[in-house]
Amino acid sequence: DQQVKQNSPSLSVQEGRISILNCDYTNSMFDYFLWYKKYPAEGPTFLISISSIKDKNEDGRFTVFLNKSAKHLSLHIVPSQPGDSAVYFCAAGYSSASKIIFGSGTRLSIRP
């Protein structure tokens, strides 16, 4: 049973436009959510997180939105840059258990 789902395996966006990556979850007990970025043959790097008590968190070009009623979160990147081309993983966790569950990832390609 996949508790964190990223239904789009890939996304192509023109440079300078907005990239929107989506993620759905099934467990309402998650109390924080994260986005990670991964380049080939490297470990993922942390991008941005959001607590379940908030509905938006912004860090520079990156904004994460959380809709708890829909069990949905999204990552907005604006403007998109060539260096943003990577695989993006959505993740969710419980602070009581230190266990984090990842989605299957979305490969973002930024085209010139």
SS3 15: coil
Which sign does the torsion angle of CA 61, 80, 56, 53 carry?
negative
- Count of residues touching other proteins (by CB under 8 A): 27
DSSP state for residue 93 in the 8-state scheme: E
The answer to whether 43 contacts other proteins (rule: CB under 8 A) is yes
Are 108 and 13 in contact, with CB atoms under 8 Å apart? yes
The answer to whether 60 contacts other proteins (rule: CB under 8 A) is no
Question: CB of 88: closest distance to other proteins in angstroms?
Answer: 11
| Binding span for other proteins by CB under 8 A among 19-27, 61-69, 74-82, 96-104 | 96-104
**Out of 23, 24, 44, 110, the residue judged to bind other proteins by CB under 8 A:** 44
Residue in 82, 88, 86 with CA at minimum distance from that of residue 110? 82
| Binding span for other proteins by CB under 8 A among 13-21, 67-75, 76-84, 100-108 | 100-108
